[in-house]
Amino acid sequence: MTIVIERLAEGPTPPDTANATWPNVLHTTIADVMAQMGQPPWSRRIIADERQLVTLIASPPGGGNRPHWHRDFDEWWVVLGGRLEWELTGGIVLQARKDDIVWVPRGTVHHIRNVGAELSLRLAVAMPPAMHYYSPCEQCGYADEGAREWCA
């Protein structure tokens, strides 16, 4: 697989491609995103370019993603709030809270759930085109509920 970078900077330039709203805003305050998005669940793409997709994801208690895996990139998250659990291929279970970083290599199914009593917030870093391969979660018996936007 080849990543094609079509727009190259020719030298130092002011940030003329920055947007007024997400994605690709010069300065993001998470409280602003939360106020705009309202009640969870939601996800908001914060940064997007040829090499990275950064998404802020809010899940209510008991909420989470659809178990899936990625063929061609490793994914990682920064937990910004709440208590989250990652259930991984092979029966590995990680719990993480605010200020924790979780990394999952390509090929590993990740089922992420908010296991706390509060809203959870996580910043997901993936790579475009971020194809998701959904699979049932053998360890937890998760049943597929259909398409969702917020599957990081």
* Closest separation in Å from C-beta 80 to Zn ion: 17
Quick check: 46 and 54 in contact, CB under 8 A? yes
Nearer to Zn ion, 75 or 85 (CB): 75
| Interaction mask 86-105, Zn ion, x per CB under 5 A | --------------------
Per the listing, tokens 């190259």 go with 8
* Closest separation in Å from C-beta 141 to Zn ion: 20
Order of all β-strands in the sheet with 110-114? 92-97, 83-88, 110-114, 68-69, 133-134
* Closest separation in Å from C-beta 59 to Zn ion: 14
Count of residues in contact with Zn ion, rule CB under 5 A:
1
* Closest separation in Å from C-beta 68 to Zn ion: 6
Per-residue three-class SS string for 27-95: CCCHHHHHHHHCCCCEEEEEEECCCCEEEEEEECCCCECCCEECCCCCEEEEEEECEEEEEECCCEEEE
* Closest separation in Å from C-beta 32 to Zn ion: 25
Per the listing, tokens 């940030």 go with 15
Cβ-proximal residue to Zn ion, closest one: 75
Per the listing, tokens 């990275």 go with 52
| Interaction mask 52-81, Zn ion, x per CB under 5 A | -----------------------x------
Which pair of structure tokens corresponds to residue 13?
Answer: 């330039």
Nearer to Zn ion, 75 or 87 (CB): 75
Residues that bind Zn ion (CB under 5 A): 75
